[in-house]
Amino acid sequence: MLRPALLLLTALGIATLTAPMPDTSAPQRPRTPALSDTVEAGSPALDPAVLRPYELRRELTMTRGDTARPFGRQSEVLTADTVEGRPVLLHVVTFDTPNALTVDSSWVDPATLSPIRMQSSNKFRVLDLEFGASTVRATTTPAGGAPTTSEHPLAVRPFEWNMLPLALSSLPLRPGYAAQLPVFSDRAGRVVWYAVRVAADTFLTRASGYRSPMWQLVARADSGGPDAQWWVSQRHHFVDQALVSEPGVAMLYAREGL
């Protein structure tokens, strides 16, 4: 993606070995080998009806090697909206980090989770992705500079990186479930395939002692993307916590006040 590496990591949230990790009594393995779904935008495997508007706030901690330090805050908001009379889901993620204040806004078709547009803006540049039926148009405008535009062909119906958590939360998650999902990466300039599987039926323990049920997902990219783990709320159908890592760096996104 054209975004800096750390902002790529913050797009989904990350946990590290220093982070509060989910509790689980034992590894959970499927009794029989899991089959893998191929899930593109609009796939019948998705159930976007489970998604509800939400607002989440998280604290960030960056880890390099053995050193961890606070790295700002994130807010994530999902709302229903309309664009020129067309119903959409508007997914807005705001990163307030030492590097910059960055706002990423994604407009998504509520029935198929097909990306329509994504805009990422900070003091350094504005990035626009416009999704068509068979292409993605990427326009980058640096601060004080002229815009540059590139066209990228699409052979599949991909998801957009920032709204991937919506797709994950819409899957028929259960122990052993596995899927392959295409994700357009503006950093790679192409579609990256993620192999995602449910690693555990687990929970996150809140400060109050409440155990919040989660599906723990493990994902690996074929190339050009970070590896990830996500903890999807079984009750609320959103990504509660996630672990995204690239060589040498990781970032923790922990829910505030929990």
Res 28: pLDDT: 35
Q: What is the mean pLDDT of residues 157-171?
A: 95
pLDDT digits (tens, 9 = 90+) for 178-187: 999 999 998 8
Task: Tell me: pLDDT of 220 over 60.
Answer: yes
Q: Average of pLDDT values for 163-185?
A: 96
- Given this model, what pLDDT does residue 32 score? 37
* Residue 59 binned pLDDT confidence (cut-offs 50, 70, 90): confident
**pLDDT for position 5:** 39
Q: Determine the Cα–Cα distance for residues 232 and 234; give it in Å rounded to an integer.
A: 6
Token code pair at residue 6:
């750390």
What pLDDT digit, counting tens, does each position of 79-91 carry? 999 999 999 999 9
CA atoms within 13 A on the CB side of 216: 16
Specify whether the CB–CB gap between 127 and 104 falls below 8 A.
Answer: no
Give the residue numbers spanning the domain of 24. Answer: 5-255
Overall average pLDDT of the 37-49 stretch: 97
pLDDT of residue 100: 93
The total number of structural domains that make up the chain: 1
Least confident of 18-27, 57-66, 75-84, 129-138: 18-27
Average pLDDT value for the chain: 86
Angstrom distance (rounded) from CA 61 to CA 57: 14
The rounded distance, in Å, linking the Cα atoms of 19 and 245 is: 14
Residue 9 host element (H or E): helix 5-10
For the entire predicted model, the pTM comes to 0.84
Q: Specify the pLDDT at position 98.
A: 92
pLDDT score recorded for residue 257: 74
Average pLDDT score over residue span 139-146: 96
